[in-house]
Amino acid sequence: MNAFLPRLRPAWLAALLLLWSLVGPASATTVVPPDFAGLVDRAGLVFRGEVVGREAALVTRGADRAIFTKVTFRVLEAIKGAPPPLLTLEFLGGAVGELSLEVSGMPRFEPGSQDIVFVTAGEPAICPLVAMGHGRYRILRDAQGAEFVARDNGSPLHRVDDVALPLLAPSTVPVAARLAGGRPLSPAEFAGHVRRAAQRIHTP
């Protein structure tokens, strides 16, 4: 399970006091890993996308202010639903000047990376993905250049049932676990599993 715990790292005391006034005291929330069927069912959109933009800003909403990061994806393949060609999602956290807000368990996206993301069908709060990091699957390449699917922490995904496993920090994923289980799922295989699961869920 992942705990939601904002960690503030300002450059000096004034920034610390400012961020404290912006985001308030930290609270702890638990993210329960969904099983594969639940992951697919809770997603309104599932797509393979390339990150083409990322921008953090200090956002004011009513009496509250906090740092949010907008990540823009170029949609390469629609897997569930009908996403637009470009889609921007907003995540709590990021860095603006000397101020930063880190949220434990929040996915971090880099421009140029490709991912399969499960966008929640409900109203997003701090993260637009289903179960935060459990709704993001990275597309990586092995030593031979073949694409494979990895979880948010970088561990290869060998079976769709493994989406329900806790997300360990990358440094704590045992090397044996990264290598075990044979060949990881390819993006096409993973997308096929998602499409079949979505069809089963919505077929009377």
185 band by pLDDT with thresholds 50, 70 and 90: very high
Mean pLDDT for all residues in the chain: 83
Which structure tokens are listed for 197? 């699961």
Q: Is the pLDDT of residue 120 over 70?
A: yes
Phi and psi at 92, nearest 5°, equal: -65, 135
pTM for the complete prediction? 0.81
**Model confidence at 17, in pLDDT bands (50, 70, 90)?**
very low
Q: Which distant-in-sequence residues (6+ apart) come within 8 Å of 191 by Cβ? A: 48, 77, 79, 116
> Rounded to whole angstroms, what are the CA distances from 14 to 7, 11, 20, 63, 65?
16, 8, 10, 20, 16
Greater confidence, 4 or 66? 66
Q: What is the pLDDT of residues 24-58, one digit of tens each?
A: 434 344 688 999 999 999 999 999 999 999 999 99
- Contact between 113 and 50 under an 8 Å Cβ cutoff? The reply is yes
pLDDT tier, 96 (very low <50, low <70, confident <90, very high otherwise): very high
Give 3-state DSSP helix, strand, coil % of the chain, rounded to 5: 25, 40, 35
pLDDT at 136: 98
Over residues 135-176, the pLDDT tens digits come to 999 999 988 999 999 999 999 999 999 999 999 876 555 544
pLDDT of residue 64: 83
Whether the Cβ atoms of residue 121 and residue 202 lie closer than 8 Å to each other: no
State the average pLDDT over residues 62-76: 93
Distance CA 65, CA 72 (A): 22
What percent of the chain is predicted at pLDDT more than 90? 64
Specify the pLDDT at position 11.
Answer: 37
Residue 200 has pLDDT above 50, yes or no: yes
Instruction: Write down the pLDDT at residue 170.
Output: 65
